[in-house]
Amino acid sequence: MDRTPPEQRVSRRRLRACHECDWLMALPPLASGEQALCPRCGHAAVTRHRYPAQRSMALAITTLILLGLALGYPFLSFSTSGISNRIELIEASTELIYFHEPLVAMAVLLTTIVLPAVYLTGVIWVQAGLLTGKALPMSRHIARSLVHLYPWMMVDVFLIGTLVSLIKIASLADVTLGPSFWALGAYALLLLATTQSVDRDWLWFALAGEPPAPDNARTGETAAPQRLSGCSTCGLVNRVDDTGHGRCQRCDEPLHLRRPHSLQRTWALLAASAVMYIPANVYPIMTTTSLGSSTSNTIVGGVIELVNMGSWPIALVILIASVIVPLGKLIALVWLCSVAPRAGQLNALSRTRLYRLTEFIGRWSMVDIFVVAILVALIRAGNLMSVTPGPAALAFASVVVLTMLAAKSFEPHLLWDYANEGTMPTSRENQPAPRSPIPTMAPSMTPPKKQGPQTRNSLHE
């Protein structure tokens, strides 16, 4: 069964407000494999798939089976000087508890096993109800939670961390890859395919339909001055109350014209992550014991060690993911927070692209944490050879989480508000006055006056 897309089942306009620049647009009819792009900033508002329910459900079931295989078989084993050890996938997190790192262990367990399993189960539950023609209980709440779970699943990052660990161990011992390792690789790839296959626009239309658009909504303009807000979960455009707040009438997600105290929250999270960045790089992230001699390595020390071993590509990966990316993300977010009140002085589109980049790269800094988790679990031979986590592990994991939260708390709409005047609206919540007009954009940034977003075939372009 491949139901016709929502645009062909309703005759009225289906409005969307861009999540990044707040441009109000009407969705055009989309064929399978096409995207609807915001004409102002180029953000992909909707991506249409063929057989959306069957596609997501089949991928989710297959991925969940591979997760079970990855948990049920040996993951890695090593042997050296007559001593050997073998671990399963779940031990990469549980072994950290024995070294008094329960928070790091919880972070590894959640991001690699628990949250992906919950996500996959939720996809299967929601799509199964749609395929049977009757939504199962709690389907709307589960569909809403899928959006919030997505950024915190890091199986692909864990896979990269495993490969880095193998290169580090290869010079010290003989390493054997178990069936779980190959299942993990397939599990990581299919989980990525599953998340990309979920058509949120089609999903919410199938679950709850599409309420009529608010009266007197004008496309080709910013939504906030019209007292309209696009839901970040289901995409529906809603009219908010006089305070600039409300709830989505389709999924019940809280709505704001602008996130309350966005800049203040972002500054606070950045300050906390900057403080944690110091011990994360000063203290050792792990201690290696070989033949009774212990060596403590900081993050930079580990990079130097890899260079001395001749592993330049892996050293470059660790340098970028663990040193350059966290520091670069801190600098980028500090700069974005600083220029947001002076939006007219700089190019809004370039700043938005920088914001997208900071959101995308933040999670990849977890590579070093996953490397430590794997080495700690695998190399356990007492004074002959062992690895223990250092005090920097928790500090560095905190930096990654805090910078991700900072990126999520930042309001990208602020980069577009009052683009020509270069002033920030006077509001205690750093949000534009609801009834104040947004000045016309500069000629170089003025989008075409269209009733809907641009479309493109994502399979051929």
353 or 288, which is more confident: 353
Domain that holds residue 318: 261-423
Q: Where are the beta strands (DSSP E) in 250-366?
A: 254-256, 286-290, 293-297
Asked if residue 321 has pLDDT above 60, the reply is yes
* In a domain? residue 347: yes
If pLDDT is split at 50, 70 and 90, which confidence band does 179 have?
very high
Task: Please state the φ and ψ torsions of residue 414, each to the nearest 5 degrees.
Answer: -65, -25
Distance in angstroms (rounded) separating the CA atoms of residues 42 and 424: 24
Distance in angstroms (rounded) separating the CA atoms of residues 228 and 219: 11
* In a domain? residue 180: no
Name which of 18-22, 113-117, 149-153, 317-321 the model is least confident about.
317-321
Q: What is the mean pLDDT of residues 81-90?
A: 82
**Which tens digits make up the pLDDT trace of 198-247?**
988 889 988 888 888 888 889 888 898 899 999 989 889 999 988 888 89
The 3-state DSSP class for residue 247 equals strand
Q: What is the mean pLDDT of residues 19-29?
A: 89
Q: What is the predicted pLDDT for the residue at 63?
A: 96
Asked if residue 360 has pLDDT above 70, the reply is yes
If pLDDT is split at 50, 70 and 90, which confidence band does 306 have?
confident
* In a domain? residue 202: no
87 or 116, which is more confident: 116
Asked if residue 184 has pLDDT above 60, the reply is yes
The tally of domains found in the chain comes to 1
* In a domain? residue 37: no
Q: If you search the block for the tokens 């309209």, which residue do you land on? A: 228
Asked if residue 152 has pLDDT above 80, the reply is yes
If pLDDT is split at 50, 70 and 90, which confidence band does 333 have?
very high
Tell which residue, 443, 139, 67, 383, has the closest CA to residue 131.
139
Domain with residue 392: its CATH number is 1.20.140
If pLDDT is split at 50, 70 and 90, which confidence band does 119 have?
very high
* In a domain? residue 152: no
Q: What is the predicted pLDDT for the residue at 454?
A: 52
**Which tens digits make up the pLDDT trace of 374-431?**
988 888 766 667 788 888 999 999 999 999 999 999 988 888 885 534 333 333 344 4
DSSP secondary structure code for residue 213 in this structure: P
Task: Please state the φ and ψ torsions of residue 198, each to the nearest 5 degrees.
Answer: -75, 115
Asked if residue 182 has pLDDT above 80, the reply is yes
* In a domain? residue 64: no
**Which tens digits make up the pLDDT trace of 207-221?**
888 888 888 889 888
* In a domain? residue 139: no
338 or 449, which is more confident: 338
Task: Say if residues 315 and 303 touch (Cβ distance below 8 Å).
Answer: yes
Q: What is the mean pLDDT of residues 78-101?
A: 85
Q: What is the predicted pLDDT for the residue at 441?
A: 31
If pLDDT is split at 50, 70 and 90, which confidence band does 49 have?
confident
* In a domain? residue 268: yes
Q: What is the predicted pLDDT for the residue at 420?
A: 39
Distance in angstroms (rounded) separating the CA atoms of residues 380 and 382: 6
Burial class from Cβ neighbours inside 10 Å (0-12, 13-18, 19+) for residue 130 reads buried
φ/ψ bin of 306: left (φ > 0), alpha (ψ from -120 to 50), beta (otherwise): alpha
If pLDDT is split at 50, 70 and 90, which confidence band does 459 have?
very low
Distance in angstroms (rounded) separating the CA atoms of residues 193 and 119: 13
